Structure 1
């Protein structure tokens, strides 16, 4: 089954390097990416990302070396490696958060939050955001929450971040608890020159901050 142990070991080492390049903790390294290959951001609103391209190339090299190092079960090995590579960062992050993490490092977010905006007049908008956060530690956690804009090609208008006009939002979550957060605000945008008028944003991005650390999710 194994043709070359050395080749397989080199392949696994390269996989480890690839995973470390854009490991999704403590920050979401690919949240602004417009083009993604596996866990590598290839392009964002500023252009191409060199380390994402290098990581993609190394990932393909690791796959080729894995195939070369085996006599049979090659397709099966490639499939298993893709699954492991996709799931292992989440598993390692969850394990760390449930054992060693404290404060805002123990907070996880599934990325499925959304915000809805409805214009009232030229200067005022109703904003409502819904999201779910999970405190995986054995201690209660209190932190400040801010909203980050989602960027689109050719559109630099402020979107979710206008909710910060009514913030910062101070959130507390009990130990090992999941909390649904609903924020409704009447926003005065008279001093904001370029902003969303109405619409819905999905998969919103967040900034969480406590006394020791800041995270982008």
Structure 2
């Protein structure tokens, strides 16, 4: 089954390096991506990402070495490695947050939050956001939320980040609890010419901070 151990070892080392390049903790580093290959944001709001392109080639090279290192079960091995490569970082983050993480380091987010905006008048919007946030630590955690806009070709356009005009929002999540955070605001948008007039956002991203530390989720 094993044809060349050296190939397998080198393949494993390269895969670990690739995984570390865009490890999904403490920050979500691909929220502004346009084109993604595995965990690599090939293109984002700033254009093509050289590090991600290099990482993609390294990943492909590692998979070639993996196949060359096996004498049989090539397809099965590749599928198993792909699943492990995708799930292992999430598993490591979960173990860390459930054991030793404290403060905002112990906060997780399901990534499926929504924000809805309804036009009240020419200069006002009703904004409402819902975010499912979990505190994995044994102590209550308090932090502030700053909403982030997703990638939009016209960088001056604002929608989700308009919620920050009603902030700052201070949130407390009790120990070992999952909390549906609801934020509602009547927003004055008279000073923002490039804004949405209504609608909604899904898979909302935001920044949390506790004074000295911050994370992007």
Asked if TM exceeds 0.5, the reply is yes
Cα distance in structure 2, aligned partners of 1:124 and 1:201: 18
Which residue does the alignment assign to 1:102? 102
Which portions of structure 1, spanning 4 or more consecutive aligned residues, are displaced by more than 4 angstroms?
none
Q: How does 1:74-113 map to 2 (within 5 A)?
A: 74-113=74-113
- SS of the aligned residue for 1:42 comes to strand
Give deviations 1:32-76, integer Å, cap 9, x for gaps.
101111100010122111111111111100000000000001111
Q: CA deviation at 1:12?
A: 0.3
Aligned counterpart, 2:23: 23
Q: Is the 8 A contact 2:208 2:215 kept in 1?
A: yes
Q: CA deviation at 1:159?
A: 1.1
Instruction: Give the aligned length.
Output: 217
CA distance in 2, matches of 1:172, 1:155: 32
1:54 aligns with 2:54: yes
Superposed displacement of residue 150, structure 1? 1.1
Shift of 1:118: 1.0
Residue 122 of structure 2 aligns with which residue?
A: 122
Do the aligned partners of 1:15 and 1:59 also contact (CA within 8 Å) in 2?
yes
Q: Cα RMSD (Å) of the superposition?
A: 0.9
Say whether the 8 Å CA contact 1:127–1:187 is kept in structure 2: yes
CA distance, structure 1, for counterparts of residue 33 and residue 22 of structure 2: 12
TM-score with structure 2 length normalisation? 0.98
Structure 2's unaligned 5+ residue stretches are: none
Flag structure 1 segments of 5+ consecutive residues without an equivalent. none
Q: Deviations over 1:105-130 (max 9, x none)?
A: 10001110010111111110010101
The 3-state SS of whatever aligns with 2:25 is coil
Q: Could you say which residue in structure 2 is the equivalent of 1:142?
A: 142
Alignment match, 2:173:
173
Matched residue of 1:120: which SS? Answer: strand
What is the TM-score of this pair, normalised by structure 1?
Answer: 0.98
